[in-house]
Amino acid sequence: MDVLTQPVLVLNATYVPVAIRTVKDAVILLILRKAELIKDEKGLFIRSEKLKLATPRIILLTDYYKVPKRKHKLSRENIFLRDDHECVYCKRKLPSSRLTLDHVIPKSRWDEIPREKKPKDYHTWENLVTACRDCNSKKGNKLLQELKWDMPENRSTNKRRFPQFSVSTQLVEKFGWADYIHS
């Protein structure tokens, strides 16, 4: 892989990750003094006739960059991300392959619930949660109060921390970003 196309983690002035850019983009920001070098790749340099720079891995923007609010697409993986890959019922953290989506109010029971006590629609952020296979099987089409289970809290995207972008564990480990990417 060409060094100039490798990824660099970009932090805003408050050290919040806001983007992943290429080494080439990061070098330009550093030369223009729009960013400061936070971490570089030891022993790997970018050279030109008049310049020798360590390859950046993490840069900090010198001006504050407000992270734009994003409307997140309702998807299986985004629900897992929102719930931090944790079953909302038994609190076990599991890999995606061992998780399922659960509708808190099952479709077969939807019409029994008064309008003011349920989300606007069946398939929404508020009605979908991450559940392990065991808990989802136990729950089946029952309502939480029938099982004497508590209602999971803070499930909507605006109440729970939701990543601005997701970064693979492999990239985090390979380029040393662990101190700045919080899972």
User: The domain that contains 96 carries what CATH number?
Assistant: 1.10.30
pLDDT, greater one: 183 or 132: 132
pLDDT exceeds cutoff 50 at 13: yes
Residue 155 lies in a domain: no
Residues 61 and 80 in one domain: no
Radius of gyration of the chain (CA): 22
pLDDT exceeds cutoff 80 at 165: no
Return the structure tokens found at 149: 């289970």
- Within 12-79, strands assigned E span 17-22, 35-47, 52-61
Task: Grade residue 157 by pLDDT with cuts at 50, 70 and 90.
Answer: very low
Residues 131 and 173 in one domain: no
Q: How many CA atoms lie within 13 A of 32 on its CB side?
A: 11
Residue 85 lies in a domain: yes
Residues 63 and 21 in one domain: yes
Which pLDDT tens digit goes with each residue over 21-39?
Answer: 999 999 999 999 999 999 9
- Within 13-165, strands assigned E span 17-22, 35-47, 52-61, 99-103, 128-132
**Range 167-183 average pLDDT:** 80
Per-chain mean pLDDT for the chain: 85
d(CA 82, CA 151): 16
Return the structure tokens found at 31: 């030369």
Return the structure tokens found at 180: 């700045």
